[in-house]
């Protein structure tokens, strides 16, 4: 799969064309074990366009820093909360800073931070009254607020110093973007989350629906204040 996408990787100067490979979930609460396994998997595949998937557990954060510091592309997966997302971004920056301090190149360090979107609505909707207007709004509100945090962190002084050394931003990735509730638009989690520096791992059926009736326009930072109020409610 990495070989099939290698031309995309080359044409985008290492920004796109990645395949993700997950560390065993049995290591989700083992920082050292996750870091060791990430290095082993990356070496075993032997392709530069492979992202090693590390879950955003508390124990995963040090492993993210260690893996980034080793020059391995990282897909941080299973992010749900904004608080944990801040920890993920800080772990990524810490790994880049270690590489700079060691005199290493930042060119290999592509990374994404993966939010599981529709699952948030599935969980929150189950706790809400059937007639509330808040149903079906938590997931998009959470993602849009996360994007605002992304813009703040990656326009800050800490990242500017790293960008000067060649660092790439850690792009937000919207995962689980197929609509699970038939009462909602079948392209809800695509239409509402379009914007620069984002990735959407769209399921095939959702992609076909979007090609048929989706709208391509920047939406990910529309209504951010409304999103904040939705989360507060």
Are 167 and 97 in contact by the 8 Å Cβ rule? The answer is: no
Inform me whether the pLDDT recorded for 129 exceeds 90: yes
What percent of the chain has pLDDT above 70?
100
pLDDT of residue 226: 78
Average pLDDT over residues 55-82: 98
pLDDT of residue 227: 73
Count of Cβ atoms closer than 10 Å to residue 157 Cβ: 6
CA-to-CA distance for 190 and 174, rounded, in angstroms?
9
Inform me whether the pLDDT recorded for 232 exceeds 80: no
Higher pLDDT, 77 or 228: 77
Higher pLDDT, 20 or 133: 20
pLDDT of residue 224: 78
Catalytic residue among 39, 53, 144, 215: 53
Quick check: pTM over 0.75?
yes
Average pLDDT over residues 39-46: 98
Whether 53 is catalytic is yes
Minimal CA–CA distance to 190: which of 210, 164, 213, 211? 210
pLDDT of residue 25: 95
When the pLDDT of each residue in the chain is averaged and rounded to a whole number, the result is 96
Average pLDDT over residues 88-116: 97
pLDDT of residue 230: 77
Which residues lie closer than 8 Å to 138 by C-beta, 6 or more apart?
120, 121, 124, 125, 230, 231
């Amino acid at each position: 799969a990495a070989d099939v996408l290698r031309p995309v990787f080359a044409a985008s100067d290492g920004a796109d064309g990645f395949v993700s490979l997950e560390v065993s979930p049995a290591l989700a609460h083992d920082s050292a074990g996750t870091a060791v396994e990430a290095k082993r998997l990356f070496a075993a595949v032997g392709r530069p366009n492979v992202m090693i998937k590390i879950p955003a557990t508390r124990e995963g954060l040090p492993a993210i820093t260690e893996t980034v510091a080793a020059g391995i592309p990282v897909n941080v997966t299973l992010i749900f909360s904004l608080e944990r997302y801040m920890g993920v971004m800080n772990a990524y920056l810490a790994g880049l800073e270690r590489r700079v301090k060691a005199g290493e190149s930042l060119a290999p360090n592509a990374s994404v931070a993966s939010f599981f979107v529709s699952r948030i609505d599935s969980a929150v909707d189950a706790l809400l009254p059937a007639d509330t207007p808040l149903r079906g709004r938590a997931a998009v509100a959470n993602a849009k607020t996360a994007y605002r945090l992304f813009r703040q962190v990656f326009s800050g002084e800490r990242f500017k110093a790293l960008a000067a050394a060649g660092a790439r931003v850690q792009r937000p990735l919207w995962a689980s973007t197929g609509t699970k509730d038939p009462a909602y638009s079948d392209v809800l989690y695509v239409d509402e989350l379009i914007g620069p520096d984002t990735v959407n791992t769209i399921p095939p059926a959702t992609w076909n629906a979007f090609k048929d009736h989706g709208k391509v326009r920047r939406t990910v930072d529309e209504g951010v204040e409304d999103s904040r109020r939705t989360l507060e409610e």
